[in-house]
Amino acid sequence: MPASFKKQKRTVRQKTPVSANPKIKLSDPTTTERRLKTPYDASQLKKFRTVLVGQKNFLMGNITHMEEQALRKSRQEASGDLSNIPIHIADIGTDNYEQDFTLGLIENEDHEIQEIDAALERIGEKSYGVCEKCSKHIPTKRLMAIPYARLCITCKEKEEKVV
């Protein structure tokens, strides 16, 4: 190695933490403040609101019906038996399985209702249709398929790969 290389003072650039750099703004998904506003106008937001409210009402009707079926009926009423004595122990197991399955469906639909409520809140905040991770606009086709989507397709795929 040449002597000039050994004598040169090596300067190291100190890295400024991203949070300390005033030019870079961080977004925290836990806060209600969003960086971008919705790409949709008032009439489009009204259509999405109508779709979301209709879907929420449909799910609430499903939940009510499933709760009545799963929780309020005895085994005798559900199966139409005339006797209180189960014919076979497997019948009890089947009834328990059906009740657990229905309760799982209720839980899933309840989660979907919570997501719909959050989407309605985003419409009110005028931040509907903006990805919560990358702040890019969520394509209209995705919102038509899943109107309560929080993430764009790219971010959702990354999230699913992690899980």
With respect to residue 100, please indicate whether it lies within any of the assigned structural domains.
yes
- Total domains in the chain come to 1
3-state secondary structure of 108: helix
Q: What share of the chain is helix, strand, coil (3-state, %, to 5)?
A: 60, 0, 40
Structural domain boundaries enclosing 117: 38-130
With respect to residue 89, please indicate whether it lies within any of the assigned structural domains.
yes
CB 93 within 8 Å of CB 125: no
With respect to residue 47, please indicate whether it lies within any of the assigned structural domains.
yes
Which residue in this structure is represented by tokens 């969520």? 138
For residue 95, the Cα-to-chain-centroid distance in whole angstroms is 31
Pull the structure tokens for residue 47. 């259509």
Q: Tens of pLDDT along 131-153? A: 999 999 999 999 999 999 999 99
φ, ψ of residue 83 in degrees (nearest 5): -105, 150
Whether this prediction's pTM lies above 0.85 is answered by no
Q: Tens of pLDDT along 37-74? A: 888 889 999 999 999 999 999 999 888 888 877 766 55
φ, ψ of residue 137 in degrees (nearest 5): -70, 140
Q: Tens of pLDDT along 75-114? A: 556 555 556 665 677 777 777 888 888 888 889 999 999 9
Which residues lie closer than 8 Å to 102 by C-beta, 6 or more apart? 66, 69, 70
With respect to residue 14, please indicate whether it lies within any of the assigned structural domains.
no
